[in-house]
Amino acid sequence: MLVTLFPFFLMISTSFKIKGEFFTRPPIFIPNRFNFDAYRAALRSGGQKALIDSFIIAFVSMCIALILGTMGAYGLRELLKKGKNYGFWMLIIEMMPPIAVVLPLFILFKYIHLLDTYPALILGNTVFVLPFAIWLLLGFLEDIPIPIEEAALIDGCSKFQVFSHIILPLLRSGLIPVAFFSFILPRNEFLMALVFSRTKVTPLTVVIPSLVMSDTVAWEQVAGLSVMAIIPPVIVAMVFQRYIIRGLTFGAAKG
């Protein structure tokens, strides 16, 4: 825990320091005076737009992953009942490195004039988030007894009614960890953000490295913007900790 949390402590401490306190001997771990200028400077240097852009990209990618992921997982489960196992293809897409498809996607987005737009980053991230969401939700679906669906079908429900009125309410606890990870993964993605963005769309993962300039490094702004970037996910993770841990230990393992 000390090894893991110390860099976060150092980052928070650096965000409150003033110039001259970054590289001192002995090092200053707790500033003499808490200075919030780094946060204001980081927001003025493009941090505010970066926070908004990253939220939009991650939130829309999460929504698409949840909508298509639930339907995809339910469809795969129906195929599993018939003895057709296509889950292996989900794993292949999940294991594929993003750098393998960045160039083809770049050419495609350039051809259809989507570079430096929200749709380019949303679609690019969804390609890799969706298989993860399907695979995780499939584990939760396998925990739902099949006789419940069969009883609903006997009562006259259609497949869509079974999915919307039976499966989704029972799947509610599984949607929380899937939503969390489907939001975090696009928000932390760097390669596609670097390749597909220019000036109109500037995610956090591109803006923070831009503060490392050729002649100097704005350490306090890097630390301040990083702190603002990690606070929301940490709060959400603490609130929904029980569901997130269940999604990692149960859904993924059983899938």
CATH code assigned at 97: 1.10.3720.10
Tell me, yes or no, whether 41 lies in a domain.
no
pLDDT of residue 252: 45
pLDDT of residue 95: 78
Q: Are residues 59 and 132 in the same domain?
A: yes
**Secondary-structure breakdown of the chain: helix, strand, coil percentages, each rounded to the nearest 5:** 75, 0, 25
251, 137 contact by CB (below 8 A): yes
**pTM value?**
0.86
Q: Are residues 127 and 25 in the same domain?
A: no
Consecutive 10-residue runs of the chain (255 residues): their mean pLDDT? 89 86 82 86 91 95 93 84 68 79 91 93 91 86 83 86 86 85 91 90 92 82 91 85 67 44
Tell me, yes or no, whether 116 lies in a domain.
yes
Tell me, yes or no, whether 40 lies in a domain.
no
**Number of domains making up the chain:** 2
Q: Are residues 56 and 22 in the same domain?
A: no
Q: Are residues 116 and 193 in the same domain?
A: yes
Q: Are residues 22 and 67 in the same domain?
A: no
Tell me, yes or no, whether 145 lies in a domain.
yes
pLDDT of residue 4: 87
Q: Are residues 88 and 165 in the same domain?
A: yes
The first and second tokens of residue 249, run together, are 């230990």
The domain of 16 spans 1-35
Q: Are residues 22 and 142 in the same domain?
A: no
| Residue in 36, 4, 8, 31 with CA at minimum distance from that of residue 20 | 31
Tell me, yes or no, whether 240 lies in a domain.
yes
Q: Are residues 133 and 57 in the same domain?
A: yes
Q: Are residues 103 and 23 in the same domain?
A: no
Identify the three-state secondary structure at position 217.
strand
For residue 205, how many other CB atoms are within 10 A of its CB? 20
Sequence-distant (6+) residues with CB within 8 A of 254 are 139, 142, 143
Q: Are residues 94 and 1 in the same domain?
A: no
